[in-house]
Amino acid sequence: MAILFDSDINWESCLQFGTRQFFKEKTTIYQQGTMGDGFYYIHKGLVKVTTTTPIGKERLLNIAIPRQLLGVQAMDRQPHFTTATAVNESILYYFSCEHFQTLIKAQPSILNMFIKTVIHKMHILADKIYLDTLTPEQQLSAILLNICYEFKKYEIPLTQQDLTKCTGLTRITLYKILKQWKEEEIIEMNGKKFLIKKPGELKKLLGKVLI
């Protein structure tokens, strides 16, 4: 099973310390190479996280969904090494480094959760080269497992259309993969959600542990 971490943080009570921001579809939230000075909490919408290789090729690293954090790896006021783009209309809360200090005082458990998030983001980036060699089935497995890890559950609020927009896979390719997984009872699709019934099978497809 994917490794999940628990959190008793009530983020709704923390939003008062952040700045509410709206992003239209395909809007860049932060760009690779720009300086970081805070992080984001996703309140609504989907965000894809990518990195650009030295030859200028874009690689998808992760799909971030509501209740997840973005940009935490640049909290040391160093350049972002990824780019975050809104997949659809999204609402995020921005927390500066100063806000972070206030959050820790209000809810000390945030620090532990924050550290684990940073470590996980680094693991995702470290696996970028490996991900470049994966088949479409393996790429989709890695993305879904990464979402499960951060969302702390195996029910993912994504539609097939969302996955098409984020992964870059064609609708036909994605449909075939999901159809096969459904027949094998690896996943269950219910309207706007995916239920990962057999996460162990997705990890087997990868051939190594990514998360």
Q: How large a percentage of the chain has pLDDT more than 90? A: 19
CA atoms of 49 and 120, how far apart (whole Å): 14
In this prediction, residue 192 carries a pLDDT of: 78
pLDDT band at 126 (very low <50, low <70, confident <90, very high): low
pLDDT band at 127 (very low <50, low <70, confident <90, very high): low
CA atoms of 36 and 74, how far apart (whole Å): 5
- How would you classify the pairing of strands 187-190 and 193-196? antiparallel
Residues 20-38 have pLDDT tens digits of 999 999 899 999 989 888 8
In this prediction, residue 75 carries a pLDDT of: 76
- Give the range with max mean pLDDT: 61-70, 86-95, 124-133, 162-171: 86-95
Distances (CA, A) of 210 to 84, 114, 142, 151: 21, 19, 7, 16
Confidence check: pLDDT of 117 > 80: no
CA atoms of 68 and 44, how far apart (whole Å): 10
Domains and CATH numbers, the chain: 11-129 (2.60.120.10), 134-206 (1.10.10.10)
